[in-house]
Amino acid sequence: MADSSSNISLTGQVLESLTISRVATAIFIFLTASFLVDISLKPRYPKSIPRVGYGDSYIATLKNWIGYVVYFGRWVDEGYVKYSKHDRAFVVPSAASRPQEIVVPRSQTAWMLELPDRILSTHHAHNDVLYSEYNFLGKAYSDDVFHIRVVHRNLARHLPGLIPAIQDEVHSAIDAVFGTDTVEWKSLNLWEAWLGIVPRITNRVLVGKPTCNNEEFLKSMVHFADAVVTNSFILNMFPKILHPIVGRLLQWPNWRHWNRAHQVVQSVIAQRLHDMARQAAGDPAYQDWTAPEDFITWDIRMAKAEGKPFELDPASISKRLLPVEFAAIHTTVITGHFLMMDLLASDQSLGYMDGIREETGRVLKEEGGNWTKNGLSRLLRTDSAIRESMRVSNFATSLIKRKVIAEEGITNESEGWHVPRGGFLMLNLSGVQHDPDLYENPNSYDAFRFSRAREEYEELPQSQKNSDAWMRVQKLGMVTTSDAHLAFGHGRHACPGRFFVAHELKMIMAYLLNNYEIEPLATRPQPQWIGQTIIPPLDVKIRIRRRKATV
């Protein structure tokens, strides 16, 4: 009894000593120590590389972390004018969780992108930026980019055959979101409208019908994408050595959203596994059966071809969907949202929407009412309007990042600097795409900026058309990347889904503008920047009404 009493007494004394101020002090000391240790473990860059921000000392680094949220875009713009325009790299502060980044000038784009992945890695950079181990539910799914290889190998190849299904989903999704009332105007939130359209169309290709119309599944995927963004913002602000704790705490919503989606799609995946196995075994009942061309089928085919039984588990397949869902939903919704704002807030006397409406209506009629790959490729104005919006309305300061993973680091021969293992390199998207030396009136939205030359070429007599001129105008298409058009990335790691996105957005704009009246916006709502990413204006309302004569 005496021992028990003294234990209780000792516990009471400890609890009494844990005042709020002492606990807060302990937490502060722990976090400060964590930040200092984290700073010491980050790669150091040569002093010969100029810097923007507050500097490189411990105190300056802490100031950089605080200023990063508000000033990052300003720092990159400053560095672009002072250094990038003069073919020099510069160092820009990053978030607390990552090392500072070296912004490579446009003149050195080829050098950076041509280095092999064993030296300068896209995959490792993406994992660090998106905290993939936590956001995408485990190292097994972040270390091996099996899902990216599935998309690379299959999406563009099968896209022409998927166009009828995409068109069908575009029509039904837009009708469901915007309604069919030809009398009364309807006011709705533009962001929510895009969230009602894009996930349905995306999942028609990823999981097929009827799952692409399942509200529980779609909500789970949208919430999952939101959780990835939120978690990334939070993890940005914590030193990396605390991520095993903070990351595991933050990932619980991701697990919950995935589990809800998995409950919907697991039976579809299991049935597909069964059907494909029976067909492969020569079951006569499956002699005439054809597997639907979607991500589930492609995943199964590749897993079997590569002898990867782990990838043939229904839970693994549905987890492989997660990063694809995130990329397809998040970026496409933002792109569509900005595109509509750019068109609706532009000077209506310029006739941008009328020009797109005329072009899409005419070409669709010539195609017999059904889109084809050839028909969509003829939408030059529509293509230009989307590309121009992606040029002028960026949602990130950079979409091309690389992490040095070679043990010996890398050396830049042009300037002579050396970066150790763990260093980060990036290309400046915003500065390049708003450079007056590359684009006339770079801050203005000119929807037909890229289509005028292409239309002029099409009108030339056949005798004046040649391969050089043809190649020159082909480079103006929205899916063609370059060192001056980085919205889809560039080089061998350019976005593999950009052809699908181009088809999807063109069909959406064609159906929307030919079948609905939309009131213009008085002004272009402006987003807010946090660090390297953007918070779109989510409260934008538009007024819309179904046209009496529809296409």
Q: How far is CA 393 from the centre of its chain?
A: 14
Q: Which of 203, 197, 156, 166 is nearest to 494 (CA)?
A: 156
Q: Which two tokens stand for residue 45?
A: 């860059």
Q: 136-172 burial by CB neighbour count: b if 16+ within 10 A, else e?
A: bbeeebbeebbbbebbeebbeeebeebbebbbebbee
Predicted TM-score of the model (pTM): 0.91
For residue 457, is pLDDT > 80? Answer: no
Mean pLDDT of 508-526: 95
pLDDT value at position 15?
Answer: 47
Tokens 């007024």, residue? Answer: 543
Report the percent of the chain where pLDDT is more than 90: 72
For residue 310, is pLDDT > 60? Answer: yes
Cα distance from N-terminal residue to C-terminal residue, the chain? 88
Q: Which of 471, 458, 497, 407 is nearest to 151 (CA)?
A: 497
Local confidence band at 462 (pLDDT 50, 70, 90 cut-offs): confident
pLDDT value at position 16?
Answer: 58
**Helices 314-345 and 498-515: angle between axes, nearest 10 degrees:** 50
In tens, the pLDDT along 178-237 reads 999 999 999 999 999 999 999 999 999 999 999 999 999 999 999 999 999 999 989 988
pLDDT value at position 239?
Answer: 82
CA dihedral 253, 200, 182, 447 (to 10 degrees): 100
The answer to whether the annotation marks 495 as part of a ligand binding site is yes
Domains present along the chain, CATH in parentheses: 134-399+439-483+487-546 (1.10.630.10)
To the nearest whole number, what is the mean pLDDT of the chain?
Answer: 90
pLDDT value at position 532?
Answer: 82
Report the percent of the chain where pLDDT is more than 70: 93
pLDDT value at position 72?
Answer: 86
Rounded-to-integer distance, Cα 232 and Cα 447, Å: 33
For residue 463, is pLDDT > 90? Answer: no
For residue 23, is pLDDT > 80? Answer: no
Local confidence band at 391 (pLDDT 50, 70, 90 cut-offs): very high
For residue 14, is pLDDT > 50? Answer: no
CA distances from 156 to 175, 226, 332, 354, 495 (A): 27, 27, 17, 30, 11
In tens, the pLDDT along 49-72 reads 999 988 877 788 778 888 888 888
